[in-house]
Structure 1
Amino acid sequence: MTTAESFKNLGYGSGSVGFGSKVAVVVVDFQRGLTDPAFPMGNQPAIQTAVDNTARLLKATRAAGLPVVSCYTGYSTARDALGWKVDQPLTWRIGGPECELDPRIYQPDYDIVFAKTAPSIFFHTGAAPVLHKEGVDTVIITGCTTSGCVRASIIDAFSYGFRVIVAEDCCGDPDPATHRANLEDVSRRYCDVLSLDQILTHIPVAEAAE
């Protein structure tokens, strides 16, 4: 019996989350420290592909007038940095180049942006209150990395009562197997995992925006 069959026999993964009445796109940590090859963690092909795919999604989302909420990880000094077992985030300073959002996914006069210090975009930020104020009941999660900050954001979005849709090809991870394993796991517990093309069919003006 496979792992997937074992979980299914226990009742995991039954049904689907589906889309509610209003969606928003949540973009996790597509900042230059993770997307710009000039930086040590910025030359990851899967993340580059995810950024480009997310840019397509956001073009349709903005054309539909739907909310876009982005975040970056950064600290004011070494003293407020958390105890990551990853070197680079400890040196990312708010206002520095590593904390700048990738221009492919950022529209300054439209997007709502939060700085975060922990993995989830929802942890000690205003992301959930803003989305609730906007009447959003469904969040489409994109970003990096799948096994870290994206997964944490999925779980917190679920915990806040949102319907959670994960755009599989709009998320990136250094290891393809880890990417797949984490999405398979969250999909049997908290969310629907769909492709970009599947998601675009739920945004009415997507075709026109393309």
Structure 2
Amino acid sequence: MHAEIQTYARQGFGAELPLKAPFGLLIVDFVNGFADPAIFGGGNIAPAIASTVPLLQAARERGWAVAHSRIVYADDGADHNIFSLKVPAMLTLKEQEHRSAIVPELAPAAGELVVRKTVPSAFFGTPLTQWLAQRGVQTLVIAGAVTSGCVRASVVDAMSWGFRPVVLSDCVGDRALAPHDASMFDMGQKYAAVMTRDELLRAA
């Protein structure tokens, strides 16, 4: 791994991404189904949810724009797509299903945006970009699940839309640690700043 890091450094990856106010917070898919190892969970998702609880409280106290995302398919599966072809169990995430609901400890408050999506990115086909832009967000702090899937897709789109993504290493989780670790390295080299929750709250 050391040689690989040297390769990235030699080629100019991993430059610092300075933080710039105003800040926003995006919590990706921290729903009951991803909290449950018997459904879509496991790995380090549970501790990531626990670490996000004080993050959300701090964001609210600081007046940040806060958005949440959920994967939600139509009750009749009419919006069945390529994502659900690859992962058919995603179609069990219906609007009224317990597994598709945001975990109680991170329940959205009044004024916080909740976007429903049927693909990995919280930006694709949702009003998230416009909502953040209207609130002047420059730096988007990102927590959620899973690191290698919906988090990474949302980070890439956030960067593509001109937001400065900050991925909090202790507030994102994956059902398996190898994809988590690889994705954290990749995002830190190419797309985002990577830090812990407490480092971010001290710097913001």
| TM-score between the two structures when normalised by the length of structure 1 | 0.90
Q: Post-superposition shift, 1:107? A: 3.0
Please state how far the C-alpha of 1:36 moved relative to its aligned partner.
Answer: 3.7
Consecutive aligned runs of 4 or more in structure 1 exceeding 3 Å deviation: none
Distance 1:125 1:200 in 2: 28
Which stretch of the first structure deviates more once superposed, 185-194 or 77-86?
Answer: 77-86
Q: Distance in 1 between matches of 2:159 and 2:59?
A: 21
| 2:48 is the alignment partner of 1:40 | no
User: 1:116 and 2:114 equivalent?
Assistant: no
Indicate the residue corresponding to 1:137 in structure 2.
138
- The answer to whether the 8 A contact 1:81-1:90 is kept is yes
Q: Which runs of 5+ in 1 are unaligned?
A: 204-210
Structure in which a larger fraction of residues adopt helix:
2
CA distance in 2, matches of 1:86, 1:186: 24
How far apart are residue 81 of structure 1 and its match? 2.1
Shift of 1:88: 2.1
Q: Identify the match of residue 58 of structure 2 among 60, 64, 79.
A: 60
**Distance between the aligned counterparts of 2:152 and 2:49, measured in 1?**
17
TM-score, normalisation: structure 2: 0.93
- Is the 1:78–1:91 contact (alpha carbons within 8 Å) kept by the matching residues of 2? no
Q: Which amino acid aligns with 2:63?
A: G
Q: Which residue of 2 aligns with 1:173?
A: 174
Identity %: 33
Matched residue pairs, number?
Answer: 200
SS of 1:154's equivalent? helix
Kept in 1, the 8 Å contact 2:30–2:49? The answer is yes
- The CA distance in 2 between the partners of 1:165 and 1:127, in whole Å, is 17
